[in-house]
Amino acid sequence: MQTRLHKVLRVEGLTGASYVLWLEGPFSAEIAPGQFAMLRTGSDWPVLLPRPFSYFDVSAAGTAASFFGKAIGPGTRALAAVRVGDEVSVSGPLGGGFPAPADGEPEPVCIAGGVGLAPFLLWTKQRATTVLYGGANREAIVAMESFPGQTTFHVATDDGSLGFHGNVLELYRSLVAAGEVDQRAPVYCCGPDPMMEAVAADCAERGVACRVSLETYMACGYGVCNGCSVAVEPAERFGGKPWARCCIHGPVFDAAELKW
Amino acid sequence: MRAGLLRTSLLPGLTLANPVLSASGCYNHGVEGARFGDVKRLGALVTKTVTPRPRAGNPPPRLWETSAGMLNSIGLENPGVERFLAEEMPRALELGPPVILNVGGESLEEFEQVTERVQDCGAVALEVNLSCPNVQGGQLPFATSPAACEEVVGRVRRVSRLPFFVKLSPNTHLVADVARAAASAGADGLTLINTLHGRGIDWRRRRPCLAEGSGGLSGPAIKPVALHFVALVRAAVRLPILGVGGIATAEDVCEFLVAGASAVQVGTAHFLDPLCGVHIVEELEELLVAEGESIDNLSSLEQ
């Protein structure tokens, strides 16, 4: 883990106010899918606290890395507005990632909503994966071209402007019913809370393992502020407490451990 | 660089390598920060408040960012003193800096009990947290009444062989009186300030931003308030003061020393940079050399 300034290599503006920010290395080449970093601009940062971003892509040997985000508030807008050669402070890698499936277990199917697509690019670079990707409309469906050719995408939009007309859970159910997605395959999910909660409930009902990558308010991202609590079933892994720290116990959780 | 330039005499028998400490509740017990680099250069580690029994803390959301600051409502989440001593204190001691152990409670008995229990744990001093705004409905019973402060500090004094600082609240018009009460009951030093009461409102949803309603405000926004109370108490009480509130740079440290602090604590700034305290120590050394200054020149307290 380290905190350092990285030069901006490029910023790719995408539709729906989303963007991919490429920074010059060095980065760890060992970053796991689902791990994240705390980012802020090197100068003129308009807010106090850094903002958490999943690592999107890391080039071979860590010579560059990218972060996929959406300009929503002053912090994420400032990061979208950086120019080539500016510096961005990155503190990471933080938290734990999505685990590799156990021997004999089916390949996980990834379900992403909006910028929740971010943790899955690194995953699909390691394994041929089916990704179900949902958004409000076609403008929200971005960055698929960054994924390797071995990835199978299924897209859902709420307004039907691209792909399946409906939400990503309905898409998942229809693909399972059609036999296009293995009904026993564990589900790895990242997106808005209501979507993850609905997907987790569906998986629980059918006895399918589900892991979710959560995003909460965070001040520090490395375990000292105790502010990013999420409600869990008390377990020794969480020090026997009813809250886990999203940043160090997560951000990837077994959905069965969470109290939504 | 001159060896010993930053040496800070805090209490009789307690000299620190420098006046830059971590602030309680903002650096856990130092272990997480040490994953980013060496934290040995911190003047001391001040641990997160430990209470006699485990505390789950408050429900989320516990954080809300504000203009140049943040609100928190953690609620003294901690594993309780037994588990802390068994699992966390040994790891804190391994990091290198002296450890000042922060203790808390909700009653006279709890303060006495936890103080007694930690006497031989390896800490060089204690910090008695009378001022968490996020427990007991934010009432701050021991930090807003001079009589109650005097009573609890007296009870701690009777059972403590370790020197101790009493951490006070800015959330009262009686700060100087409470400080005098702490001094007369036997405190060795004072820590000023804990967070200010504050609230964020999500007006569209007609509710507060924090689950508990109100929380404690920290960060650069409160630095002038902290400087004010350090100076006020410095004039009222002749005890060493640990200054805390919005400190993020070596310049900030010098301001607090001139206001009357003997040393300082870095809190919210550690959320932005896990090694902020260590970086401030390095900056401070360079700054004092460049300006031909010394800690003794800046610190107004006569030893």
A69-104 residue pLDDT tens = 999 999 999 999 999 999 999 999 999 999 998 888
Is B33 within 8 Å of A225 when comparing Cβ atoms? no
User: By percentage, how much of chain B surpasses pLDDT 70?
Assistant: 98
Is A241 within 8 Å of B270 when comparing Cβ atoms? no
Asked whether residue B302 carries a pLDDT value surpassing 90, the answer given is no
Asked whether residue B116 carries a pLDDT value surpassing 60, the answer given is yes
Residues with Cβ within 8 Å of B21's Cβ and at least 6 positions away in sequence, in order, are B42, B43, B44, B45, B46, B100, B242, B263, B264, B265, B266, B277
A11-44 per-position pLDDT tens digit: 999 999 999 999 999 999 899 999 999 999 999 9
Q: Please indicate whether residue B254 is annotated as part of the active site.
A: no
Confidence of residue B189 (pLDDT cuts 50, 70, 90): very high
Residues with Cβ within 8 Å of A3's Cβ and at least 6 positions away in sequence, in order, are A89, A90, A91, B36, B273, B274, B275
Q: Which pLDDT score is estimated for B300? A: 59
Residue B250 to residues A222, B172, B286, Cα–Cα distance (Å) = 24, 29, 9
CA A141 from centroid of its chain's CA atoms: 15
Q: Which pLDDT score is estimated for B2? A: 64
B248-285 per-position pLDDT tens digit: 999 999 999 999 999 999 999 999 999 999 999 999 99
- Please check whether residue B125 is in contact with residue B188, taking contact to mean a CB–CB distance below 8 angstroms: yes
Is B79 within 8 Å of A239 when comparing Cβ atoms? yes
Helix/strand/coil for A231: strand
Rg of chain B on CA atoms, in Å? 18
- Among chain B, residues having any CB pair with chain A shorter than 8 Å are 25-28, 32-33, 35-37, 48, 54, 56-57, 59-66, 68-70, 72, 74, 77, 79, 83, 219-220, 268, 270-275
Q: Hey, what are B103's tokens?
A: 């203790």
Q: Which residues in chain B are closer than 8 Å to A223, comparing Cβ atoms?
A: 28, 32
CA–CA separation, A154 and A176 (whole Å): 12
Asked whether residue B301 carries a pLDDT value surpassing 60, the answer given is no
Distance from CA of B235 to the nearest CA of A (A): 33
CA–CA separation, B160 and A180 (whole Å): 69
- Please check whether residue B167 is in contact with residue B127, taking contact to mean a CB–CB distance below 8 angstroms: yes
Q: Which residue has the tokens 């400087």?
A: B227
Low-confidence winner among A57-66, A221-230, A234-243, B232-241 (lowest mean pLDDT): A234-243
Short-list B224, B219, B217, CA closest to B200: B217
Global ipTM: 0.94
Average pLDDT over residues A133-149: 95
Q: Which domains, ranges and CATH numbers included, belong to chain B? A: 8-298 (3.20.20.70)
Bond from prior residue into A26 cis (ω within 30 degrees of 0): yes
Q: Which residue has the tokens 């420098």?
A: B18
Q: Which domains, ranges and CATH numbers included, belong to chain A? A: 2-94 (2.40.30.10), 98-214 (3.40.50.80), 216-260 (2.10.240.10)
Helix/strand/coil for A121: helix
Short-list B32, B297, B45, B109, CA closest to A38: B32
Confidence of residue B303 (pLDDT cuts 50, 70, 90): very low
Q: Which pLDDT score is estimated for B3? A: 65
Q: Which residues in chain A are closer than 8 Å to B34, comparing Cβ atoms?
A: none
A68-77 per-position pLDDT tens digit: 999 999 999 9
